[in-house]
Amino acid sequence: MSHYKDIVIIGGGVIGCSIAYHLGLRGFKSTIIEKESVAARASGKAWAVIADPYSLQMAELDSPEITLFHSPKGETVGHWKELFNITYTRLHEVARDLKNRGGMDIEIASCPYDSLALTEEDEAGYKELIEDFHHKGFRELLWMEPKEIRKVWPDVPPETRGSLRTIIHQVEPYKYTLGLAQAAEKMGTRIKQGDVVGFGTKGGKITSVKLASGKEIGCDAAVIAMGPWSWEGTKWLGNELAMQLVLEGCLRMEIDQDIPPHGLASGKYSILSRVGAKELILGSAGVPHLRQDHWGTALSEDQKYEILSHCMEMVPEVVENARLVEYRGDLQGWAPGPTYHKPSMGRLPSWDNGYVATRFGTLGMCQSLGAGSLMADLIIDGQAPMAHENLMNHLDPANG
C-alpha cells in the first residue's frame, strides 16, 4: 500500500479526472494541474458515445477495413476490452455518484444504436454475425426490421433492409469530465491552473512539477495524463512516448422535433440524438483523412460538409431541417500508425513514482472508468489487481 501524500496529475481531461476520482474513492487526495481548464480539449468536445463492448468487438471482426480497430501487429481493441467493459458496466452507478457527490447531472442515457443494412450483402453479413454471437452466448446484438427503425427515423433510405442493433450509453462529455473533477474535489482533490514545463528530480525520484510561471509544486508521485501532449511530458523524463495525432470533429445541430435518444450509423458516419435536448450530434470516427500531423486544431469546411452530406444520405429530411449550432473537435493521441489505438498505461520505465495514461484515441470516453480505476489501483497498491495484471503488462509504457 502506497504512502503517497502528494500525487500530482497533469491534465484535466477525462482520463486525469477519472484517475483523481478513483484515487479519491480509495481515500487518496491528489492535485490536478491543467493548462487551460478542465475538459477544455477533446474531453469536452466528444460525442460521447460509450459503446457496448460487444459492438466494438463486432465491428473489428466485421470490418477489417476499419483500421481504427486494427494495429499493424494484428492487435485489436479486443486486447484491452476490459477497459471498455468496466466503463460500460459502471457508468450508471458512477453517474449517480457524480450527481450525489459532485452535484453534476451528466445527462446519461442508454439507447439503441442501429447500423443500417442498405444492401443484401450488409443484411446477410449482419445476420450471420448476430447468429454467431448468439451461438457463443452473447445476446446483446439484435436484428431490427425497417419498421422498427422508422418509428424513430421515418426518412431512412427506402432501400433500408433492417439494422444491427446494439445498446449504447451517451453522456454530455463536458459535464461528465467536470463531474468527475468536482466529485474528486469533494473528496479532497485540488484543481490548479498551470502550464507544466518539466519535473524536478532527485535520486531517481520525481520530486516536483515545474510550471511555466516559474513556480514549482512539490510531489511524491506524478501522473502524466496530458492526452496527445503526453509525448512531451514523457520526454521530460527521458521516456518519450511515440504518439500519432489525429484531429476529429463533429457537428452539433438543433432540431425542432423531439427525437428520443438514439444512434444511427451507416459506414463510418453516425448520427446521435441527444437525451433531453432537441439536438443531434453528427460525425465520423477514424476517417483517415481527418488525421493531421500538426498541432493546429482548425477544422476544415471540407470535413464539415463531408460529415453533413453523408449524414444527409441517412436521414435527408431531418438533417436538412436541422440548424448547425457548433462545429467542434480537437486532437487525439493515437499509437503510431497508420491508425491504431493501443493505449499506454502504467509506470514509466526507470521512475518508481512516475506514471502515464494516454493514447486513448477516439475511444477515451469508452475507456475512462476502466483506465481511471486501474491506474488508481496501480498507484496505491504498487501493482495492478491480479485479475488485470496481464492487461496492464500489455499496455505498459515500457513496451512503447
Ligand X SMILES: Cc1cc2nc3c(=O)[nH]c(=O)nc-3n(C[C@H](O)[C@H](O)[C@H](O)COP(=O)(O)OP(=O)(O)OC[C@H]3O[C@@H](n4cnc5c(N)ncnc54)[C@H](O)[C@@H]3O)c2cc1C
From the list 98-106, 112-120, 156-164, 360-368, the region that binds ligand X by CB under 6 A is: 360-368
Applying CB under 6 A, which part among 95-103, 119-127, 151-159, 219-227 lies near ligand X?
219-227
Instruction: Tell me whether residue 67 or residue 123 sits nearer to ligand X (CB atom).
Output: 67
Q: Name the residue nearer to ligand X (CB basis): 112 or 249.
A: 249
Q: How far is the CB of 151 from ligand X (least distance, A)?
A: 24
Selected range binding ligand X among 9-17, 53-61, 257-265, 347-355, rule: CB under 6 A: 9-17
362 contributes a contact to ligand X by CB under 6 A: yes
Q: Which is nearer to ligand X, 88 or 161 (CB)?
A: 88
Residue 81 C-beta: closest distance to ligand X, Å: 13
d(CA 317, CA 183): 41
Q: Which is nearer to ligand X, 153 or 236 (CB)?
A: 236
Question: Binders of ligand X among 242-281, rule CB under 6 A?
Answer: 248-250
Does residue 374 bind ligand X (CB under 6 A)? no
Looking at the Cβ atoms of 114 and 248, the one nearer to ligand X is 248
Does the footprint of ligand X cover residue 102 (CB under 6 A)? no
Nearest-approach distance from CB 307 to ligand X, in angstroms: 10
| Residue choice 19, 48, 241, 311 for contact with ligand X (CB under 6 A) | 48
Given candidates 47, 54, 133, 355, which one binds ligand X under the rule CB under 6 A?
A: 47
Is residue 192 within 8 A of residue 33, CB to CB? The reply is: yes
Q: Which of 227, 261, 263, 346 binds ligand X (CB under 6 A)?
A: 227
Binding of ligand X by 360 (CB under 6 A):
yes
Number of residues counted as binding ligand X (CB under 6 A): 41
Q: Could you give the C-alpha distances from 311 to 32, 158, 241, 314, 316, in angstroms and in order?
A: 38, 15, 36, 5, 8
| Min dist. Cβ of residue 164 to ligand X (A) | 18
CB of 155 to ligand X, least distance (A): 24
> Does the footprint of ligand X cover residue 20 (CB under 6 A)?
no
CB neighbours of 76 closer than 8 A, spacing ≥ 6? 57, 60, 69, 70
**Residue 241 beta carbon to ligand X: minimum distance, rounded to whole angstroms:** 12
x/- mask, ligand X, residues 325-344, rule CB under 6 A, reads ----xx-x------------
CB of 343 to ligand X, least distance (A): 9
Nearer to ligand X, 344 or 353 (CB): 344
Would you count residue 172 as binding ligand X (CB under 6 A)? no
Q: Assess 372 for contact with ligand X (CB under 6 A).
A: no
Query: Which residues are within 8 A (CB) of 386 and not within 5 positions of it... i.e. 6 or more apart?
Result: none
In whole angstroms, how close is the CB of 270 to ligand X at the nearest point? 9
Q: What is the 3-state secondary structure (H, E, C) of the chain?
A: CCCCCCEEEECCCHHHHHHHHHHHHCCCCEEEEECCCCCCCHHHCCCCEECCHHHHHHHHHHCCCCHHHECCCCCEHHHHHHHHHHHHHHHHHHHHHHHHHHCCCCCCEEEEEEEEECCHHHHHHHHHHHHHHHHCCCCCCEEECHHHHHCCCCCCCCCCCEEEEEEEEECCHHHHHHHHHHHHHHCCCEEEECCEEEEEEECCEEEEEEECCCCEEECCEEEECCHHHHHHHHHHCCCCCCCEEEEEEEEEEECCCCCCCEEEEECCEEEEECCCCCEEEEEECCCHHHCCCCCCCCCCHHHHHHHHHHHHHHCHHHHHCCEEEEEEEEEEEEECCCCECCCEEEECCCCCCEEEEECCHHHHHHHHHHHHHHHHHHHHHCCCCHHHHHHHHHHCHHHC
Q: Find the binding residues for ligand X in span 49-88 (CB under 6 A).
A: 49
C-alpha cell at 210: 515545474
Contacting positions for ligand X (CB under 6 A): 10-16, 33-36, 40-43, 45-49, 195-196, 225-229, 248-250, 329-330, 332, 358, 360-366
